[in-house]
Amino acid sequence: MSAPNKSYDPVEVEALKPEQIERMRDEALAAFAAADSLDALQEAKVAHTGGASPLALANREIGALPPHAKADAGKRVGQARGAVNKGLAARQAELEAERDARVLVEEAVDVTLPHDRVPPGARHPLTTLSERIEDIFVAMGYEVAEGPEAEAEWFNFDALNIGPDHPARGEADTFFVRTTSDSGSAAGSGGTESGVVLRTHTSPVQIRSALDRELPVYVICPGRVYRTDELDATHTPVFHQVELLAIDEGLTMADLKGTLDHMVQSLFGAEMKTRLRPNFFPFTEPSAEMDMLCYVCRGASVGNPDRPCRTCSSEGWIELGGCGMVNPRVLTACGVDPEKYSGFAFGFGIERMLMFRHNVEDMRDMVEGDVRFTRPFGMEI
């Protein structure tokens, strides 16, 4: 029986001596404490807990010990490694908290600073309102029609039953680009050519549409029109209209009324309605002014002094525009047989609609191009 091999006594293995294990542990903890950044800590971690670290190497020595010595040495190394891992985790948490606190300070954003010195513009509300109205009619099968703004006098007046003596043809209302006498002398044709005007309404587009298209015709004509008005709070020499024309067999005033009701309900809400008042226009017969229910008081201000309404002056209704059944003479001018077909038409100013839909009080705001006016409409598409 041989004596125990002394060299396997853990005390005799240099790396497993208690003071050596303690030294390794203390060195590791000191290295972690000295690490002043997460990167430095990572290096210390590799050096003191990695596969080539002193404690890992000492751990390997345990396997070579005699069985009775393994438990003691294993416990010592295990405790040391536990302490090292615990110290590492604590330092890691400390350094991470420091980093987070530093990031909060260094990367702070002052949300009250102006983010952009040139804010984006916005589409003009006249454009978006016009498109919204077009959408309502396109959904009903109408087609959007356009025409020239410098228009032949014949299309702007004669075809619409506005004769040569009509006051609207005077120079007091109309911008003439070329008068009939100009064109006559220029062309030497004895004055038979039509003069040219800046169109005073979008109605000539209706005439062009009726001439160009196969029947039935359902068109909506938005566009710029011109009158010789001075620019002030309620007038502008250039403004926008939307006009509508429907020509088909069997159309009546009831179709017109239903179409108007649908439009105001789409724009202002389901309870809206319209009313028609007799009027006269050369291009429609019978003709009517169309009013819509006041969208603010819905008529509740009428005869009710306790609830006055500024929008409709407590009348309950707001005037919207003109309408009627297309005059048979206009149908004839468009080559349409008035015995077989009938039509209805209506038109109104988009500026006016914008004024009461958004409480715009001065028409000059719409034409001056100030972004402070258009920007609040920027979210509208």
The region of 93-101, 160-168, 248-256, 307-315 touching Zn ion under the rule CB under 5 A is 307-315
Any idea what DSSP says for residue 328? H
d(CA 288, CA 322) in angstroms, rounded, equals: 6
Among 311, 328, 338, 357, binds Zn ion (CB under 5 A): 311
**Sites for Zn ion among residues 147-176 (CB under 5 A):** none
Largest CA distance in the chain: 147
The region of 18-26, 154-162, 195-203, 309-317 touching Zn ion under the rule CB under 5 A is 309-317
Beta carbon of residue 300, minimum distance to Zn ion (angstroms, whole number): 8
Residue 309 in contact with Zn ion, rule: CB under 5 A? yes
Residue 296 in contact with Zn ion, rule: CB under 5 A? yes
Which tokens hold the place of 307? 């609830």
What backbone phi and psi angles, to 5 degrees, belong to 357?
Answer: -75, -30
Nearer to Zn ion (CB atom), residue 174 or residue 301 = 301
The region of 15-23, 249-257, 271-279, 305-313 touching Zn ion under the rule CB under 5 A is 305-313
Among 77, 260, 312, 366, binds Zn ion (CB under 5 A): 312
Q: Tell the residue number behind the tokens 């990031």, with chain if given.
A: 103
Give the strand order in the sheet containing 217-226.
Answer: 143-144, 217-226, 238-248, 342-349, 317-326, 284-293, 274-281
Residue 294 in contact with Zn ion, rule: CB under 5 A? yes
Beta carbon of residue 319, minimum distance to Zn ion (angstroms, whole number): 12
Which tokens hold the place of 108? 């702070």
Nearer to Zn ion (CB atom), residue 18 or residue 308 = 308
Among 272, 297, 333, 345, binds Zn ion (CB under 5 A): 297
Nearer to Zn ion (CB atom), residue 84 or residue 312 = 312
3-state DSSP of 8-69:
HCCCCCHHHCHHHHHHHHHHHHHHHHHCCCHHHHHHHHHHHHCCCCHHHHHHHHHCCCCHHH
Q: Are 62 and 7 in contact (CB under 8 A)?
A: no
Which residues would be at the binding site for Zn ion (CB under 5 A)? 294, 296-297, 301, 309, 311-312
